[in-house]
Amino acid sequence: MIRKWLGAAFLALLTLAYGVAADAQTLVLKGGTVYATPEAAPLADAVIVMSSGAITAVGPASEVQIPPDARMIDCTGKTIVAGFWNSHVHLTEAVWKNAAEAPAASLTAHMQAMLTKWGVTTVWDLGSDPTDGFALRKRINAGEVLGPNIFFAGSIFPRDGHPIYLPPEMQLPEAATPERAEHLARSYMQMGLDGLKLFTGVFKGEDKAVVNMDAAIAKAGVDVVHAWVKPAFAHPQNRAGVDAVIAAGADVMAHTAPGANYTAEQLERFKQQNIALIPTLSLFAKLPIPPEISARLVDSAVQQLKAFSENGGKVLFGTDVGFTKLYDTTTEYELMHRALRGSQVLAALTTNPAGYFKATSKGRVQQGFDADLVILDGDPIADVRNLAKVAVTIRAGQVIYQKP
């Protein structure tokens, strides 16, 4: 009885503490230039007010009332855009092991080095240990660890589909039949994962053939997650892998597939089926291969991105970070800019993923939207490299990274 009462009292105190904290945490950004969306005209000398995780006001300094007790960040000379999505990451590094018990400070520090220092407020993890992932997400959502909003996708590999770049002892979920793919996809959904990642093509090594997944097997997995209204990502690797994406009805290509330009027919199907593309160009730029081969892969991937985008396809920013140790996003922006305008690169980070994944309160700096914002040192439309020059990252109205 006493314990019950103590529990209730503790809860009441906690509620009180949070109530007070929420008021004290009304956050105001003052003096910066705001891009509400990538295509919108910039608003100079703006004021943004955030409270309880949402944007409560945005407008010119002359029109927005600043609450007297708010915490203020002076943004003079800075540019403010919506929080970035990295739609292809892996929380697989050793630092995430035992995420339930690991010290919060070390988890926050690595989130900053890998993601939030680069303006990232939402990620899609396309393959990791869900035990650690769920624990990490819980601690982030409780405000104990500072990090992004995380979505998880569970993987399915084809038979004999162990990629050469993953440790041979690693146990991977392979599906040799549609029934097996259906079973795996259903178990991921029941486990609480947010999507599926199919390897419709697997790289086995320079001298070996790519192993592709039968479209019927891929489709069995896709149908399950679509019934749960969740997206299916796919790693295509080659032209047959791209065809399997189309035939299976998967939603997002997790990479370009350098070496095989998209055919006119593939481009037409991308449009019909609303298939999105994550280019991961810097991944190909930083592979441990001779520079002239890497340059050829990058050129081919840039061509694919260009053809895809000019065809009207939705491009989603993603780097495969966690698999690659390249945390700095500058190269990805420079390479994307070879195929896209600056505003299109910003859209791939903000409005495109929010729209594609139906996150209706994300992707814009607008009243009523989530207070996920990035304060940049320079204008990203004038120079895309400024997208990597992050002064402050804010998620749900809380500063999760601030440049020292």
Closest CA to 133 of 168, 159, 95: 95
Per-residue binding letters, 271-310, with Zn ion (x by CB under 5 A): ----------------------------------------
**Options 17-25, 313-321, 336-344, 373-381: segment touching Zn ion (CB under 5 A):** 313-321
Amino acid at 319: T
Name the minimum Å distance from CB 90 to Zn ion. 6
Name the minimum Å distance from CB 179 to Zn ion. 26
Nearer to Zn ion, 235 or 314 (CB): 235
**Options 95-103, 138-146, 287-295, 312-320: segment touching Zn ion (CB under 5 A):** 312-320
Cα–Cα distance measured from residue 291 to residue 232, given in angstroms and rounded to the nearest whole number: 33
- Other beta carbons within 10 Å of 205: 10
Name the minimum Å distance from CB 235 to Zn ion. 7
Name the minimum Å distance from CB 283 to Zn ion. 8
**Options 2-10, 220-228, 281-289, 320-328: segment touching Zn ion (CB under 5 A):** 320-328
**Binding of Zn ion at residue 125 (CB under 5 A)?**
no
Nearer to Zn ion, 267 or 321 (CB): 321
Where do we find the tokens 């988890």?
107
**Binding of Zn ion at residue 320 (CB under 5 A)?**
yes
Q: How many residues bind Zn ion (CB under 5 A)?
A: 2
Name the minimum Å distance from CB 46 to Zn ion. 37
Nearer to Zn ion, 111 or 278 (CB): 278
Cα–Cα distance measured from residue 200 to residue 30, given in angstroms and rounded to the nearest whole number: 48
Name the minimum Å distance from CB 153 to Zn ion. 10
Structural contact between residues 21 and 338, judged by C-beta atoms closer than 8 angstroms: no
Name the minimum Å distance from CB 123 to Zn ion. 12
Name the minimum Å distance from CB 344 to Zn ion. 23
Q: What are phi and psi of 296, to 5 degrees?
A: -65, -45
Question: Could you tell me the sign of the dihedral formed by the alpha carbons of 218, 227, 189, 347, in that order?
Answer: positive
**Binding of Zn ion at residue 332 (CB under 5 A)?**
no
Name the minimum Å distance from CB 203 to Zn ion. 12
Query: What separation, in Å, do the N-terminal and C-terminal C-alpha atoms of the chain show?
Result: 49
Name the minimum Å distance from CB 65 to Zn ion. 46
Nearer to Zn ion, 73 or 150 (CB): 150
**Options 37-45, 208-216, 263-271, 323-331: segment touching Zn ion (CB under 5 A):** 323-331
**Options 18-26, 96-104, 318-326, 328-336: segment touching Zn ion (CB under 5 A):** 318-326
Nearer to Zn ion, 146 or 253 (CB): 253
Nearer to Zn ion, 214 or 320 (CB): 320
Nearer to Zn ion, 324 or 330 (CB): 324
Binding site for Zn ion (CB under 5 A): 320, 323
